[in-house]
Structure 1
């Protein structure tokens, strides 16, 4: 099985740190749960929703780049699926350096044959251009993401999709724990 992975919220639990940084920039005027909910839609959405100024957006992005890899944890049991897959690729809106720093910190870089980031210049999700590029190159079977935004491009190009930690119409199946992955994959084969 060849798998396309989203990074934030799918491989690594980054949203708590992102939530805390946005909470700081908003001077504690918004509860963390609301920030988390809006960030899960997308960072761009959250910035608009909370009416951040350009200066505040720059500050959030700066703080996010300063998060040490030790503060970003992989989701439990995700490594089992990385080892299981024949090929793994990442498509993320995150910058390349922090992605590589986190992967290297946990020894996960060995699992990925290609990582497409915002630095590659592809249009942002849900545009399917980056997914099509990766699918054409690696004959991908499945895309895994934590937001509908991650799965829409997979559906547009005819790939199977798995929603991690939630539900959405674009998902062929959903899991809330990576231990459930193997049960669901067997049911869908």
Structure 2
């Protein structure tokens, strides 16, 4: 896997450029971890102690992008791409019959919307709200917080992706 597949973060720049380029680097890293695998490999659970799959990570991160940028920062009410099951659990992790092309298209499309939302924001101090009446949650978040949180979210899951990829075909890398 080559670094040429990723957009490197700016090393000297303002806060917005630093945060957005670092987030894009993390997005590119996830794509790099998935590149060159078959649908079966993307759906596979190569580590017996976990149900994690690379395709599940892609679907999960599409949902995370949707939730934080579209719903919280942009104030939309966009429901999950993959429905909840009868017990109320999100089904993005259930990939046995999932279509990798659909998942990657939704994830890439959602990342594009997220970038547009960030680009259109006046400042990193713009705030949005997360409201969950059922769980009695009503909290405000700044775009600065969301960008930082998204970098953390991707970095954590890219660590998972690295382990999954190595278990699938032995490919290692950053």
Task: Report the TM-score when normalising by structure 1.
Answer: 0.25
Q: Which structure has the highest strand share of the two?
A: 1
Higher RCO (C-alpha 8 Å, min separation 6): 2
